[in-house]
Amino acid sequence: MTDTAEKTKRPAFQFYPADWRKDVELQSCSMAAQGLWINAMCIAHECEPYGHLMVNGRPMNTAQLGRQVGLSVKECEGLVSELLDAGVARRTEEGALFSKRMVQDEITRNARAAGGKTGAEHGAKGASHGKKGGRPAQPKGGSETPLAGNETTPLLGFEEPPPSSSSSSSPSGFKEGANAPLSKARLPTCPKQAIVDLYHEVLPELPGVRVMDKDREKALAEIWQWVLTVPKKDGQPRATDAAGALAWLRGYFLRARSNDFIMGRGFRSAEHQNWRCTIEYLVSSRGRKKVIEETQEVAA
């Protein structure tokens, strides 16, 4: 939405109790962690960017979040770790906690709000249903007009547009040109060997991958999921299909190549004197932080 005057604060977001109860990842968390998460979502509803826990343009730390909900720093840190480990909460590269679904729904809502042809590209709730999307106004005394297509109950009570049957779909299950991170259910299959081949091509000086065991397969699958599901700071996806994800990973390996510590250039402490970077390190959360926070993007 380009006109800031029209970007009004919404008083509520949709929530379906049955979907909350059926979410396996969420229900694997303790009741205390679930209580923190629903409070965190309410706070994130008031923050900018939408769905992120932010204070004055900076990521909200656990001490600040704890004060918001009446928890000590230690209690809050433990519950946040529980939510992150279960895959319920996510973090941006800058460290801000966010709800992936809230971010995704906000992208969809803004696209619908544009109305016209743009809104039409985002399902039955856009375009002809008005400038702000949603269901059309009803005549007095009339019943609410049902939406076209097959509606499914959205995860955790957040609204998601039904897929368009008239448009061609990408291999990931998203419409071509859709500008939103993917859900886990829509992820294209992880091309593990293709990722390894990129690693060998861009970083031949580093230890090669000779054996593909379960641990390596899991690590590659995790970064593949991260690239396709965790948005950047501005809410935009890194990739929305397999080709885009591989292109991002190529650029990521190129960034790693420019990092002196990873490539063994320059001074090293005694602790890291004999350390060599491996593919496991690069695809880990720790490795991603090292590469992304300390190096500039490189054209692939």
Residue-level pLDDT, tens digit, the chain, 300 residues: 444 434 556 778 777 788 788 888 889 999 999 999 999 999 999 998 888 999 998 999 999 999 999 999 999 999 999 999 888 898 888 889 988 878 877 777 766 665 544 444 444 444 444 444 444 444 444 333 333 333 333 334 333 333 333 333 333 333 334 455 666 657 888 999 999 999 999 999 999 999 889 999 999 999 999 999 988 888 888 998 899 999 999 999 999 998 888 888 877 777 777 788 999 999 999 999 989 888 776 544
Span between the terminal Cα atoms of the chain, in Å: 31
Single-letter code of the amino acid located at 262: I
Tell me the chain's radius of gyration from C-alpha atoms: 22
Structure tokens at 32: 């205390």
Contacts for 71-75 with beta carbons within 8 Å, 24 or more apart? 71/36, 75/32
Residues present in the chain in total: 300
- Tell which phi-psi region holds residue 295, choosing left (phi > 0), alpha (psi between -120 and 50) or beta: beta
Residue 262, classified by CB atoms within 10 Å of its CB into exposed (0-12), middle (13-18) or buried (19+), is buried
The pLDDT of residue 10 is 72
| Mean pLDDT score across all residues of the chain | 75
Contact predicate 122/133, CB 8 Å:
yes
Measured CA distances, 190 to 40, 200, 226, 281 (Å) = 32, 17, 11, 18
Q: At which residue do the structure tokens 């970064």 appear? A: 223
CA 257, CA 238: separation in Å to the nearest integer?
A: 20
252 near 298, Cβ under 8 Å? no
Report the alpha-carbon distance of residue 121 to residue 35 in Å, rounded: 36
3 state SS of 91? strand
Closest CA to 153 of 298, 14, 6, 4: 14
Query: 3-state DSSP call for residue 39?
Result: helix
Question: CA 242 → CA 182, 216, 235, 279, 299, distances in Å?
Answer: 11, 19, 19, 20, 18
pLDDT digits (tens, 9 = 90+) for 107-164: 777 666 655 444 444 444 444 444 444 444 444 443 333 333 333 333 343 333 333 3
